[in-house]
Structure 1
Amino acid sequence: MAVIENALYDELNFRLGRLDGIELIAAAAYGPLGGRLALVSSFGTEAAVLLHMVSRVDRDLPVIFLETGMLFPETLAYRDQLIDRLGLRNVQSETPDPVDHAREDPEDELWITNPDACCAFRKVRPLAKALSRVDGWISGLKRHHGGGRAEVMPVERDGRRVKLNPLAFWDRDQILGYFDTHDLPRHPLESQGYASIGCIPCTSRTRPGDDLRSGRWSGRAKTECGIHTMSDGAGI
């Protein structure tokens, strides 16, 4: 993998920064990042939108899925449903290093005392390893999620590579409209009050009117797992 130089990043930002949705994905996949681009997907409540767009552009484009070992069975079933429905041919499940697991969290209880460390070995480090194979990655970050995501741009510099956020400016109504237009299945836990879904211990139901991500690490100051705040020091 080559480090994205400033000149190339400026070119990508100029060429892609005014695009969104499927147009941004297609321009990146068939342009300077062709063959060196991957989508990172949680297969969560809004994930089907980007997955559907990718399936329309290139069903062989790598889709990185972080199988933390603590996901809801419903998420794994939804992943399999979408893979089949959309004809995705290159979904890559990344798991925590077994040595790290045995050393850092053999009882699977690290999330209680140190959720940041739990996310680091279950998500951040596996993703860093997966992204070492590409020069750009696609994420589902959206401004309407608020918090640290409120200022995301369609094209961003992310350490040594480029990060694309095709839905950066999409609001909730646009997301729901896309589901309806393309008759996409919803995550089975969404109807049970889960607006944003991650690992079982750190995900809770939300109430009507709550922020979409208020059910993640509820009662803690933590708001992100860390994959969107990685730096070169984390192997990215």
Structure 2
Amino acid sequence: MSAQTSALLRDEHPADLFAARHGGGSTEDLIAAAAQAFAGRIALVSSFGAESAVLLDLVAQVDPALPVVFLDTGKLFGETLRYRDKLVSRLGLTDVRVIRPDPAAVAAADPDGILWTQNHDRCCYVRKVEPLARALAPFDAWISGRKRYQGATRAALPRVEADGPRVKINPLADWSRADLDRAFAERDLPRHPLEEDGFLSIGCMPCTDRVAPGEDVRAGRWRDNAGKTECGIHLPGAVAAISRTR
């Protein structure tokens, strides 16, 4: 190998190297390869929302002790918290880490608990983005449950991507809604209790609405805030940028 080639390989992001080796395999193979390649340095970030059970089950089949990061924003539906507990027990997950916002940051930014009515982005930052940056500090890679069919901002989602210095793996990126429904049935997984009431994408209670027939599955998120489609944790480099300032 030439010195120039060696230099290029050293400069290549770990996400590119991992994608080249493992990005073309099955969903199960991708998860298994990630768990092995980043053993002890990878976490699954899960909302325990309407579609979460499938990925949680796939990960549990590979390693039930793989860390699962759950952001409890203080604004979640009680149904989500109970669903989380049900899935943790059902799937045998042994390392679910409940992460909460910094109380001092919440007291300073949202003393009355109504910041979501004034500044959605700031509320998401305090309650989700900053806590996740803190939670991911020990890890070199993380797994997300995003899919391409979840809207225009995710239409070109790769299965493996760089997130600052970390590797971010999206095992279900190319799955369709039908694929998920089939997996729920085949794996006999329980549905989120709010799904049958029209909540197809479930986040914080004040910012989650029912989805009408024919609407995008995420249409109920921040319905009263035109243009907002993401909480911020998946914006390119957002979590990594906070980590670098610590």
Pick the TM interval, shorter chain: over 0.9
Q: Is 1:30 matched up with 2:36?
A: yes
Which amino acid is 1:226 matched to? G
Bigger Rg over Cα: 2
Matches within 5 A, 1:51-90: 51-90=56-95
CA separation of 1:7/1:177 partners in 2, compared to 1, >3 Å: closer, same or farther?
same
Q: Quick check: 1:194–1:215 contact (8 Å CA) kept in 2?
A: yes
Q: 2:202 aligns with which of 187, 190, 197?
A: 197
Q: 1:143 — aligned with what?
A: 148
Are 2:216 and 1:233 equivalent residues in the alignment? Answer: no
Equivalent residue in structure 1 for 2:171, among 166, 171, 178: 166
Q: How far 1:20 sits from its partner (Å)?
A: 4.1
What is aligned with 1:8?
14
| Aligned 1:209-224 pairs, distance under 5 A | 209-220=214-225, 221-224=227-230
Closer, same or farther: CA 19–184 of 1 in aligned 2, 3 Å: same
CA shift, 1:230, in A, is 4.7
For residues 157 and 26 of structure 1, what CA distance do their matches in structure 2 show? 19
Given that 2:15 and 2:168 are in contact with CA atoms closer than 8 Å, whether structure 1 keeps it comes out as no
Name segments (4+ residues, structure 1) moved above 3 Å: none
Residue 185 (structure 1) shift: 0.1
The equivalent residue for 1:188 is: 193
- 2:102 is aligned with 1:97: yes
Q: Is the 8 A contact 1:20 1:154 kept in 2?
A: no
Q: Is the contact made by 1:16 and 1:155 (CA closer than 8 Å) also made in structure 2?
A: no
Q: Take 1:196 and 1:7, find their aligned partners in 2: how far apart are those partners?
A: 32
Q: Which residue of 2 aligns with 1:42?
A: 47
**Aligned partners of 2:59, 2:195: CA distance in 1, in Å?**
23
| Whole-angstrom distance in 1 between the partners of 2:86 and 2:103 | 27
Q: How much has 1:15 moved relative to structure 2?
A: 1.2
Q: Which letter does structure 1 place at the counterpart of 2:170?
A: N
**Pairwise CA RMSD of aligned residues?**
1.3
Q: Which segments of 5 or more consecutive residues in structure 2 lack a partner in the other structure?
A: 1-9
**CA displacement, residues 74-124 of structure 1 (integer Å, 9 cap, x when unaligned):** 000000000000000000010000110111101110000000000001000
What is the identity percentage for the equivalent residue pairs of Structure 1 and Structure 2? Answer: 53
Whether the 8 Å contact between 2:14 and 2:167 is mirrored in structure 1 is no
Q: Normalising by structure 2, report the TM-score.
A: 0.91
- CA 1:68/1:230 → structure 2, altered by over 3 Å: closer, same or farther? farther
- Alpha-carbon offset, residue 7 of structure 1: 5.1
CA distances 1:137-182 after superposition (whole Å, capped 9, x unpaired): 0001100112211100110011110000000000000000000000
Determine whether 1:125 maps to 2:125: no
Aligned length: 232
Matched residue type, 1:175: L
The 2-side partners of 1:42 and 1:53 are apart by: 15
* 1:207 paired to 2:212: yes
Amino acid at match of 1:177: R
Distance 1:230 1:94 in 2: 21
